[in-house]
Each structure stands twice: as structure tokens, then as C-alpha cells.
Amino acid sequence: MKMRLLSRKATCNTHGQDSSYFLGWQEYEKNPYDEVLNPKGIIQMGLAENQLSFDFLESWLAKNPDVAAFKRDGKSIFPELALFQDYHGLPAFKKALVDFMAEIRGNKVTFDPNHIVLTAGATSANETLMFCLAEPGEAFLLPTPYYPGFDRDLKWRPGVEIVPIQCTSSNNFQITEAALQQAYQEAEKRNLRVKGVLVTNPSNPLGTTMSRNELNLLIDFISDKDMHLISDEIYSGTVFSSPGFVSVMEILNENNSLKDQVWDRVHVVYSLSKDLGLPGFRVGAIYSNNDTVIDAARKMSSFGVVSSQTQYLLSAMLSDKKFTRNYITQNQKRLKRRQRMLISGLQKAGISCLESNAGLFCWVDMRHLLQSNTFEAEMELWKKIVYDVRLNISPGSSCHCTEPGWFRVCFANMSEQTLELAMKRLKAFVVELTANGCSQSRTEFSSWNSKRKSLPKWVFRLSSRDREQEEP
């Protein structure tokens, strides 16, 4: 018997990278928009990055030169930092981080730094929790639509199955009791043992915060079924309008009897990738009141400890409470303004979106532009938007949405001018589409093809290799 050379994990598709979600990025990489060098290129609107508030961080750095020089009180602490690999994390950083998390929650919740585990991004936090809470082959319930990366983070190495909690536009995609029960029964039918529920609050891709109602529903559900609840709150600092953000921890604090039952089964995931716009720094965290989970997760964090250099920089920055308070407020203002821009631009194109109050994207309703109410039609529309309109947006099917026609469109990873241009292009497209129907778009596609040949070669050299992006 010839032995398989690599592991099954190495040769399967569970990393999820062949999904359309990532293919859009590949197209973007081949023809990326640049205001000067490639004004007809594809505008990236599939990347949930927060690029709006770097100036605050940069000006803080200018005022705090010691940090940059690895100094504290004028003395070099480089050796200490270079040697610090303790997976307990830098105490000053953990303190600053939990204070920051509390600040975001209006100080209605406080967190104990001893109950936080640092991980290499939320990607690692979610995977680590799976390793801690479930055996391979067990399942977690996730409300749809959900972040496509969860397929990789939960299923690939931990081998955990995802069973969707189907949410629909009939009630703005909120989680219902019925949907929860249905998902649970679906798992039973498939002989899957459900270990918990994982929700993202605020939601990616919806951009909405979870209502108290939904949170209470979830807590009742996990209490009844003896399972875990993971609340991925990485967008908690991006809430820019009402209703405000309510963390699951707040609900627990309010209800003592419930708290006793489930306190050791509710876990929060956090990260600085969205709120602070620092995905490159790989700063994630798991927060739990369950000592055993924290203990196990901490040991596992050996495989993805946060760089001490980065912990040090951020401990200084986040301990500056004046700075963090101002940052949180200003960042939210800018996000709100940017969201309004997108919404108004979409409206001009006759397109509406789900009412949202958070996140770096809108959940856009293009059902009326579909040829038919099918996912094939959604793919057709998506291809036109990518190739003809030259906007990379994310089709709802890649987020496992049950209804065709929804798209996630990001607004915080580009300049205002670029966003305006994107909206202009979209409007032009919709006008033509609705006026002329299919045939027009086919002409546009072939005319793009001929235009493509006229692009300078460097545009293609730019990304002659795979440069798949990481976290959307």
C-alpha cells in the first residue's frame, strides 16, 4: 500500500480557500485599483479593514518616543522584552487590554486580567477554543450569515462541524428560538453532538449589534442544553450608533441566577484587528470565567504567543486612558460618517441595505437585481460586479446566507474619493442593467476584456503570484 505522503489535513479543502469569497480577492490582486496608476482597476470592497483612524495612532507615537526606542524611564528594556516569552503575557499589557475592553462596554462590565489568554489574532483564539471545548466530529451552531473564515478556523484542524442557525431577512436576520431549535434538531439528525453556539456580536457580515432579546434567548438555550456560548466581540469598538453594544457578559452580570448556571460556559473572543485597525500585529484574546478553559487555552497559546515587542507597544498605548477614550469616540464618529456615505451612494443607485449600527461594512440588498431568486443568479451578478463594475464585494453565499441576493460591502478600507468612485460605477451599472437587461452586460464584459489587453504589463506583474488575503 503506497502511503499517503502528506496528512489528510494538508490535502483536503477544509481550509475553505477555494470559496468564491477568496476568488474575488484573486481577481482584485490581478487588477487592483490605484487612483493614479490604475484608475480603471478593481476597487477592493471585500476587505473588512479599519483604515480610518491611523492618524490618531501615529500622533500618539510621536508623543511617546520612549516606547519606540524600547525604553522605559530612559532605560533600555530591549533584552527583557526580547527574552519575554511567558505565555501568561505581559501583565501591563493584559491590564491595559481588559481596561480597553471595559471602556468599550461603557464600563458596565469589568474584566479580570487573570482570565484573559493572548493569542495570535482572533483566528487563533477561535481555533484554540474549539480545541478546548470540542472533540473532532462534534459540532457548534452558528447563525447565518457568518464570516467565511470560521469554516477554516473551526473545521480544519480541530475537526469541528458547523451546523447553521438559519436567519432570514423576514426579521432582519435576527436569531429566533425556532431557528435555534431547528438547528439543534438538524444536528441530532446528523448524529452530531453539539458542544455550543458561536455568535459574532456585532455581526460580521450584518454590521448589527445583537439585541438583548437575542442574547437572553441564547443564554436560555445554552443553559437548557448544557452547552457553551462563544461570543466573538471583535467588532465591539466599531459600534457607531444606537442601539449601543450589549455584551453577553453584561447580560450575565444582570442576572445572578442565570449567571450561576452558565458562568463557566460563556466565553468571549476579542482582537485589536478591527477596533484599532492593527490586523498585522496579531493580537487576539480569549476571555473566560472558566479556569479550566483558561488554563488549557493558555497552554495552547504557546503555539501563537503575541510578540513581546507588540505587547509592549500596545500596553503603553492602551494604558493612556485619555488617548483610548478619545480614540474610541473619534473612530466611531468616522465610521458612522463613512457608513452614511456608502448608504447614500447605494440609495442613489436604488439599492438599500440592512439597517446597521456597527462594523466596517454594510449588508447590501441586491435581490431586485437578480435574474432569478437563485444562488446561480447571485454568482452571475457577482461576476458582473467584479469584472464589469470592477468592485470586489462579497457574495452572501460565501457567508452561507440562505437567501440569494445579499452582498457584504466594506467601507472603511479606502479613501472617501475611492468610495465615491465606487458608488458612481455602481450607479452607472444599475442604470444600464435595469434599462437594458442582460445583453448590455455581456457587451460590457467583452469590452472590458479588450480594455484589459491595453493595460500595461506591470499591472499583471503586480500579482503574478497568489497573494490571498488573510482575514476579510
Say if residues 439 and 388 touch (Cβ distance below 8 Å). Answer: no
Beta carbon of residue 54, minimum distance to another protein (angstroms, whole number): 4
Beta carbon of residue 411, minimum distance to another protein (angstroms, whole number): 15
Distance CA 113, CA 93 (A): 9
Task: Give yes or no for residue 92 binding another protein (CB under 8 A).
Answer: yes
Interacting span for another protein (CB under 8 A) from 118-126, 208-216, 343-351, 421-429: 118-126
Task: Give yes or no for residue 279 binding another protein (CB under 8 A).
Answer: yes
Task: Give yes or no for residue 95 binding another protein (CB under 8 A).
Answer: no
- Give catalytic status of residue 232 as yes or no: yes
- Exactly one of 94, 155, 195, 274 is catalytic; which is it? 274
Task: Calculate the CA dihedral of residues 329, 331, 337, 339 and round it to 10 degrees.
Answer: -120
Beta carbon of residue 47, minimum distance to another protein (angstroms, whole number): 9
Task: Give yes or no for residue 267 binding another protein (CB under 8 A).
Answer: no
Task: Give yes or no for residue 54 binding another protein (CB under 8 A).
Answer: yes
- Exactly one of 21, 33, 146, 147 is catalytic; which is it? 147
- Exactly one of 232, 275, 365, 388 is catalytic; which is it? 232
Beta carbon of residue 52, minimum distance to another protein (angstroms, whole number): 11
Task: Give yes or no for residue 237 binding another protein (CB under 8 A).
Answer: no
- The binder of another protein chosen from 110, 114, 434, 447 (CB under 8 A): 114
- Give catalytic status of residue 260 as yes or no: no
Whichever of 164 and 396 has its CB closer to another protein, that residue is 164
Distance CA 94, CA 88 (A): 9
Task: Give yes or no for residue 81 binding another protein (CB under 8 A).
Answer: yes
Task: Give yes or no for residue 185 binding another protein (CB under 8 A).
Answer: no
Whichever of 196 and 404 has its CB closer to another protein, that residue is 196
Task: Give yes or no for residue 309 binding another protein (CB under 8 A).
Answer: yes
Beta carbon of residue 295, minimum distance to another protein (angstroms, whole number): 8
Dig out the grid coordinates for 470 from the structure: 488573510
Say if residues 418 and 45 touch (Cβ distance below 8 Å). Answer: no
- The binder of another protein chosen from 37, 106, 190, 193 (CB under 8 A): 193
Task: Give yes or no for residue 61 binding another protein (CB under 8 A).
Answer: yes
Cα 151 to Cα 17, 79, 129, distances in angstroms? 9, 40, 14
Task: Give yes or no for residue 134 binding another protein (CB under 8 A).
Answer: yes
Task: Give yes or no for residue 215 binding another protein (CB under 8 A).
Answer: no
Say if residues 403 and 396 touch (Cβ distance below 8 Å). Answer: yes
Taking Cα atoms as reference points, which of 142, 143, 168, 165 lies closest to residue 155?
A: 142
101: how many CB neighbours lie within 10 A of its CB? 24
Distance CA 308, CA 76 (A): 15
Distance CA 418, CA 44 (A): 10
- Give catalytic status of residue 348 as yes or no: no
Residues that bind another protein (rule: CB under 8 A) add up to a total of 95
Which residues does residue 72 pair with via DSSP β-bridges, in sequence order?
75
Beta carbon of residue 370, minimum distance to another protein (angstroms, whole number): 32
Distance CA 267, CA 198 (A): 9
SS3 assignment, position 454:
coil
Task: Give yes or no for residue 263 binding another protein (CB under 8 A).
Answer: no
The edge-to-edge listing of strands for the beta sheet with 161-165 is 116-119, 284-288, 266-271, 228-232, 194-200, 139-143, 161-165
113: how many CB neighbours lie within 10 A of its CB? 17
- The binder of another protein chosen from 26, 182, 253, 307 (CB under 8 A): 307
Task: Give yes or no for residue 313 binding another protein (CB under 8 A).
Answer: yes
Buried b / exposed e across 225-244, counting CB within 10 Å, b at 16+? bebbbbbbbbbbbbbbeeee
Interacting span for another protein (CB under 8 A) from 274-282, 385-393, 402-410, 455-463: 274-282
Which positions are annotated as active-site residues?
Answer: 147, 232, 234, 274
